[in-house]
Structure 1
């Protein structure tokens, strides 16, 4: 019988805290049970082992990321929307180092729930980039480019790859401006 007050949301919040503070590898059933002050078998009332926890945590991370990106894009279009969404993406990666890593691994999953959560992010990005008049393959190439920029930037930052004392957000926006100049150039052809 599930412990009173213990639910999937509470479990995911606690697992997120462990992942973000100590790294994804630190998220185990034992560490989670200890944080929740329960015995590990109690978790099985809500999740299907460590694999089930990681799946639920990936969906949880993708949902948080989607909500942040969607909120950042409200009332904005084209360049302003791209910059705002990029800021939200990088802020998510900075704040949620552990589950950010898991959201990237989720892209390889064939699980329907994970694919659906990730698909919402892709659909939002497609919608924003269609504002430039991009269609079919053009918009997919543009989505891949933007994802590469944001993931590359976030990953390098997390790994300490930006050692020079220059403002990181300025570097990000200069990179985005170059990307957007390319998008504008695509439509001139």
Structure 2
């Protein structure tokens, strides 16, 4: 079977990511993608092994886009300003690309060298934020998990509509989350030795 002219793995992954943003990641199947690009599903197998491979591609794309945005957002910032920038990238990305953001949180994809590389890059970005605080090196993994859990948890709850029906507005709570993270990170060194 020959590959259709104009189709490529990168192009299919980007189209799948766009589709995920429109209809949700669960709806991204090889059949749905084939309809989107105007081919029969078997034509896709020259570029992706199966649906899991396609979803892994979307996960890698999303994490790379987040890492690229985070690089730009962190430039020249430290401590609270860096924390706010890091968290803001996650929240903005989830709002702009809900399907991609969902894919970025997938834990059931094969960890390839490319995925491991972008994961290490994202981890280093979080650790760079921590260097603006008094967080001892042995505590970095705990602190990275703490910040990631708080930010992703808020963003996922907000995206799911959990905060839409009550006051105060989510923006006020987001500011409190960032204040709380800043406060805890600022005192982490004392907490870790106390």
Deviation at 1:122, TM superposition (A): 1.1
Moved over 4 A (4+): none
TM-score of the aligned structures, taking structure 1 as reference length: 0.91
What is the CA deviation profile of residues 118-143 of structure 1, one whole-angstrom value per residue up to 9, with x for unaligned ones? 22111111122122142333221211
What is the CA deviation profile of residues 133-160 of structure 1, one whole-angstrom value per residue up to 9, with x for unaligned ones? 4233322121111101111111111211
Deviation at 1:34, TM superposition (A): 0.5
- Unaligned residue ranges in structure 2 (runs of 5+): none
5 Å-filtered alignment, 1:80-95, equals 80-95=81-96
- Aligned residue pairs: how many? 188
Task: Please name the residue that 2:159 is paired with.
Answer: 158
In 1, are the aligned partners of 2:17 and 2:58 still within 8 Å (CA)? Answer: yes
5 Å-filtered alignment, 1:12-91, equals 12-91=13-92
Task: Please name the residue that 1:168 is paired with.
Answer: 170
5 Å-filtered alignment, 1:134-145, equals 134-145=135-146
In 2, are the aligned partners of 1:79 and 1:180 still within 8 Å (CA)? Answer: yes
In 1, are the aligned partners of 2:52 and 2:109 still within 8 Å (CA)? Answer: no
Whether 2:133 is the aligned partner of 1:132: answer: yes
> How far apart are the structure 1 equivalents of 2:137 and 2:76?
24
Classify the secondary structure of the residue corresponding to 1:15.
helix
5 Å-filtered alignment, 1:90-109, equals 90-106=91-107, 109=109
Whether 2:188 is the aligned partner of 1:177: answer: no
TM-score of the aligned structures, taking structure 2 as reference length: 0.89
Deviation at 1:14, TM superposition (A): 1.0
- Unaligned residue ranges in structure 1 (runs of 5+): none
> How far apart are the structure 1 equivalents of 2:172 and 2:122?
24
In 1, are the aligned partners of 2:136 and 2:189 still within 8 Å (CA)? Answer: no
In 2, are the aligned partners of 1:29 and 1:43 still within 8 Å (CA)? Answer: yes
Classify the secondary structure of the residue corresponding to 1:166.
coil
Classify the secondary structure of the residue corresponding to 1:160.
coil
Classify the secondary structure of the residue corresponding to 1:164.
coil
What is the CA deviation profile of residues 34-81 of structure 1, one whole-angstrom value per residue up to 9, with x for unaligned ones? 101112112111111111111111111111111111111111111001
What is the CA deviation profile of residues 154-179 of structure 1, one whole-angstrom value per residue up to 9, with x for unaligned ones? 11112111022434233212211111
In 1, are the aligned partners of 2:16 and 2:33 still within 8 Å (CA)? Answer: yes
